[in-house]
Structure 1
């Protein structure tokens, strides 16, 4: 899969190599002098201009014009030779006038000598006063100096525009290096602490709280860095919870975003030079508006490849930095906002330039008829609208609408931008083709993933073992959908990963897909005759295996509904010599696709239905909980789906490892269903503690010795029900601070490390983050505690 992630970078490299992103090649001092003569003479209209020639071609091909250029060169550029000076001018004439200067320097000298004797005898004029001529002329020295300053400043502005544009990639590399360095630093500190041996005896204060022993310099730095930079929310408490219409990044993300936004603003605001008498645009206001428009447009273009790169699902940067897809989505959103703001500034700048330079709207109205002008306005408008359609409430509550508009508008914007800069003969396509490359290759890799996992869906044989089998069951009491899918091939699955699920038969939007966390996985034993097309009843052999306690080694149980053996021993542990994976997703229906699926299941017999489902994945990185002696798993509501996979991977009893599973939910039927079907193997484990918090108002413990709901389910499954070391049910919200303090107390007393995994409502995730931040440096070192937030942001 690493090779697949590298493909977009390789493709972008090949796309960038042949592209020239400079609007004009730079020229040296001798070429500047020659080009100044061309620019000064071009202000004059000569009588021998050809009516069929181009605007540039007139100055390049007129005998009077070319001889005037050489006479000017002989007058003001005596320190240079013609051989070293006219290469740029000839290239300029060839590119924009279709052919070089009509006479060579030697031929021009002969013409001047034949008609005037020498350049000293040629008439000197001021092009600001004399607009037409029927003879060879030389511009006055003052006008030549203005033309030279105009070209020098224009060349400098072009250099600065593109340098600041390319600096976006240097800045992006710097951001990636911060992520890589942060990952390496944490790894080094962890390895140092591991090699330092066990902790010394922990002193305790009068309040019984553990005191962190003195640490070395790197550990203190790591504590400060984690506590104040990498882990906390930007301002106090909110991170997962939105503020108004925005989501709040972590502090490190905000610092990086601030640097990026600030540098973009600075790059767009500095190093402009305007002066009276500029031969291109005489008014300083015209010059400034033009330079600002060019600068913001070029930097906006330069930001586009980053915008597309950070949006991809298949990204090597995720692996390099250890950051999540949600983190890069934060960068994606801010790059989009900055690029859009620069596009708006670009459009406003050109509008102001047109109005100031031509003293009215006449030129602007004429420009609207030009393709490049209209497509530029269209791209800016679409970018602005797309920013509004990507606000957090729309992403959250109208995801399908957001997805369709995002894709269609993005494609339209790129097409419009190609037409917008078409007049530059591809000079700016070097900024656009990488966007196309990143997008196309990401789609190709996604298609490869889909084909690998779902190719049997298109197999003509109706034998279900040669097709993807997907079954959805809806539980009205718990309001959950349990979706089981058997992919076309066995893949290396694990905890903490997610898949994008397509349901092409549910609606006309067959491309619609949503991310769902893998809740559990099973290995279905397949008899030898399955591949030969044996009947369904002959293929699966249901084996009843009695539940064993934790100390009994590898534990298995049976799902009698599906006739499948559920393996809890590990990710890829086979149950037979030939087996097929079954992936389990627990889905809480809300709106859109999940609501449509719920409505279909309500109409189906037994609320169960076989579906055509396509999987894309797996994506995400799992938390390596095997390196922690203690794990605190906190989930809320349907967030339990992100936690059960870790229990599934936990497997049999592992010496020295202890897991505390905390789940807060409102619906008892939901808890009972998951408890009975997914958590049953863990109810009597010595190394797993199950704590259930029922938060619906009015929920209370059973009275009179008659148990119901979750308590009744526990009594049925557990031999320890009601005892101090059995599963517990509490009728209130969990106190996160108490839970964490208790686990830290156990951690320090056992000289072990703690992993905190949270998946649930935004408020719960922020509560856990806040308490972990508070504990670092006060109760525990950052190297001995790690927060894993199982969430997906887009």
Structure 2
């Protein structure tokens, strides 16, 4: 997928380079220049100064026009330098006429000596050029000023409100960063934070699922509308963001009675809403692309994982798209009388393309499609995102807001360049890929000397084969015992992993050598390393990240330490031990207390069948079927405890409530639970960890999940 996406990014860069040559409107913050535009519009309606009407080449040399303008600006001292300089710019831009910067004071004297009200001019006709400056009524100048304060002020306000939307996320991320770095810099203090208000916040806001237990579990609605519910804290953040956006788009849009700019309150409201939503949406764009990037420095800053940022990305993107739809609908209504002719304009065509692309993204990004056809989803997502950016670029360039699209392209391009750089620096070594127990792919990749693994982290891997080299998939990994390789374990599902399965299943030893590209590492380890008791709970193929993190902690503690490390692995059947056997053996030389739950021990004939299978694979049986003496001393028993004497095996499903309650009770201080595996198990660990926050001994209880939602 990366190679195809690079094609589209290249096309985007070429497209942008082409349109950049034709610079659109200049960005303008109105501020006090609203005074200039109020007078400009009032003069346009009040009188005619040149035979050709709005002929700036004539008007900028017409003393009556300039004097009338000077008189309007002098009312209530609106003639500041920045305002009068706007006339200098306008005359040069539209009339190619140069006037002096102090034109206002010179022509104001002429205005005082010669100006007349329209009623004082004999036979006055607004369509016939006048030969004297025009005096404007104070009440009318006030009305035009209020109207332009509201009309053009809405553009300035929209900039501030768009910045406020970004400021909201800055505040949220500061809260996240503060919480993260306090845990890192003051772990001892954090352990003592078990007071009533702190525990209430953690139990009811920061840690639990939004409703009941379900957070990692997929929810269903009318078959096609699958969805995931964020955590309660994430839900509060998202809900408040919706509230903030509604407020920002609703305030300061009052109608000016008798407004000379708009014919009705309805028309003014539509215009204010169209301008406000379009500008706020444009300003939000860079943040949305930053949230979605793999190389997002905010992950390191806040301590939030990629899953959290993707949750925020989806909701901010939905908000942005809804704002664009409102913007488009409002302007379509306003332009209804000349819609067909206006839609021939380039900026409107590309604005429509961007809106349609956003709509396609919104529909195809539904969980139902992501889970079932991820590669197709990703391809369409990238193509439509390119069209969105390209369309937005052309559209806002015509309107003077291109400066707000630059950061979006910069964020996107930097992320891709870093990703390409990671692949190139890592190189494209040959990896040994083995199918284990017909359910898991073990990928052993030589590790460059500079490459430092992130405990609990993940990496994206490309298998360089003609049929799927363009796909990149994320997997957690562990380091080999000698630290010379990284080992990734990939559950056989559909798509790429099933293609590899078909290739390996008939190979000798179910092994093949495949050239790969590795991009990473990504992610951060959890603060569980600071707890007095760290309990790592994995389910099925969720073990690699859990294992790498607990092993990293184990290497850093001494045998005399009071810190307790516990590893719990829940597997379906005994054959699952096969693909993680080497790592399980290494646990023997650590202080980690390991328990493995086998939920379906009867599968494949149970332990006896598993041992017989291993005997045949390892050549432990004689030709007549009798046991080898070497085997008798190791695996001829009715259990495997002799091989894994350092591990406790339990058959049946674990009671998560019992495990969590027991670990909290037995801990000699703070306790942290880290989990990755089946969504139901992850949700139960979260739920019962929350239930134990207000324990009688006031021990600090933390919960961290390594589950990453890639699709």
Q: TM-score, normalised by structure 2?
A: 0.83
The equivalent residue for 1:43 is 45
The equivalent residue for 1:138 is 134
| Cα distance change on mapping 1:408 and 1:714 into 2, 3 Å | farther
The equivalent residue for 1:258 is 239
User: Deviations for 1:25-54, whole angstroms, at most 9, x for unmatched residues?
Assistant: 4354xx665543321222368484459xxx
The residue matched to 2:229 in structure 1 has which SS? coil
| Cα distance change on mapping 1:699 and 1:147 into 2, 3 Å | same
User: Deviations for 1:637-663, whole angstroms, at most 9, x for unmatched residues?
Assistant: 221222332454435973334443322
Distance in 1 (CA, whole Å) between partners of 2:89 and 2:528 is 64
Alpha-carbon deviation of 1:423? 1.8
The equivalent residue for 1:610 is 513
| Cα distance change on mapping 1:45 and 1:419 into 2, 3 Å | farther
User: Deviations for 1:56-77, whole angstroms, at most 9, x for unmatched residues?
Assistant: 73674473xx614523644784
The residue matched to 1:512 in structure 2 has which SS? coil
Q: Is the 8 A contact 2:426 2:518 kept in 1?
A: yes
Q: Is the 8 A contact 1:694 1:733 kept in 2?
A: yes
User: What is the aligned length?
Assistant: 660
The equivalent residue for 1:285 is 266
| Cα distance change on mapping 1:366 and 1:277 into 2, 3 Å | farther
Alpha-carbon deviation of 1:383? 1.1
Alpha-carbon deviation of 1:589? 1.6
Distance in 2 (CA, whole Å) between partners of 1:428 and 1:708 is 71
Q: Is the 8 A contact 2:670 2:699 kept in 1?
A: no
| Cα distance change on mapping 1:107 and 1:673 into 2, 3 Å | closer
The equivalent residue for 1:596 is 499
The equivalent residue for 1:491 is 451
Q: Does 1:180 align with 2:183?
A: no
Distance in 2 (CA, whole Å) between partners of 1:787 and 1:599 is 39
The residue matched to 1:613 in structure 2 has which SS? strand
Alpha-carbon deviation of 1:21? 11
Distance in 1 (CA, whole Å) between partners of 2:369 and 2:420 is 27
Alpha-carbon deviation of 1:174? 0.5
Distance in 2 (CA, whole Å) between partners of 1:413 and 1:133 is 48
Q: Is the 8 A contact 1:669 1:709 kept in 2?
A: no
The equivalent residue for 1:671 is 577
| Cα distance change on mapping 1:162 and 1:97 into 2, 3 Å | farther
User: Deviations for 1:183-206, whole angstroms, at most 9, x for unmatched residues?
Assistant: 245457742377xxxxxxxxxxxx
Q: Is the 8 A contact 2:611 2:635 kept in 1?
A: no
Q: Does 1:270 align with 2:251?
A: yes
Q: Is the 8 A contact 2:51 2:128 kept in 1?
A: no
The equivalent residue for 2:13 is none
Distance in 1 (CA, whole Å) between partners of 2:95 and 2:262 is 22
User: Deviations for 1:510-550, whole angstroms, at most 9, x for unmatched residues?
Assistant: 332111000x222xxxxxxxxxxxxxxxxxxxxxxxxxxxx
Q: Does 1:348 align with 2:254?
A: no
Q: Does 1:396 align with 2:371?
A: yes
Alpha-carbon deviation of 1:482? 0.9
Distance in 1 (CA, whole Å) between partners of 2:683 and 2:155 is 47
Q: Is the 8 A contact 2:70 2:104 kept in 1?
A: no
Q: Does 1:716 align with 2:677?
A: no
| Cα distance change on mapping 1:587 and 1:646 into 2, 3 Å | same
Alpha-carbon deviation of 1:132? 1.4
Distance in 1 (CA, whole Å) between partners of 2:666 and 2:110 is 98
The equivalent residue for 2:619 is none
Alpha-carbon deviation of 1:223? 2.1
Task: Trace 1:435-584 onto structure 2 (pairs within 5 A).
Answer: 435-454=408-427, 457=428, 468-475=429-436, 477-507=437-467, 510-518=469-477, 520-522=478-480, 566-567=481-482, 581-584=484-487
Unaligned runs of 5+ in 1: 1-18, 195-215, 458-467, 523-565, 573-580
Unaligned runs of 5+ in 2: 1-22, 221-225, 616-630
| Cα distance change on mapping 1:631 and 1:56 into 2, 3 Å | farther
Q: Does 1:119 align with 2:115?
A: yes
User: Deviations for 1:698-722, whole angstroms, at most 9, x for unmatched residues?
Assistant: 688669x997679999963999828
The residue matched to 1:614 in structure 2 has which SS? strand
Distance in 1 (CA, whole Å) between partners of 2:416 and 2:246 is 33
Distance in 1 (CA, whole Å) between partners of 2:707 and 2:358 is 28
Q: TM-score, normalised by structure 1?
A: 0.75
Alpha-carbon deviation of 1:227? 1.4
The equivalent residue for 1:633 is 536
Q: Is the 8 A contact 1:472 1:611 kept in 2?
A: yes
Task: Trace 1:26-425 onto structure 2 (pairs within 5 A).
Answer: 26-28=30-32, 35-43=37-45, 46=48, 48-50=50-52, 57=56, 60-61=59-60, 63=62, 67-68=64-65, 70-71=67-68, 73-74=70-71, 77=74, 80=77, 84=81, 86-99=84-97, 104=103, 118-120=114-116, 132-136=127-131, 138=134, 141=137, 143-186=140-183, 190-192=187-189, 219-244=195-220, 245-355=226-336, 360=337, 363-424=338-399
| Cα distance change on mapping 1:96 and 1:224 into 2, 3 Å | farther
In proportion to residue count, which structure has more helix?
2
The equivalent residue for 1:760 is 677
RMSD: 3.8
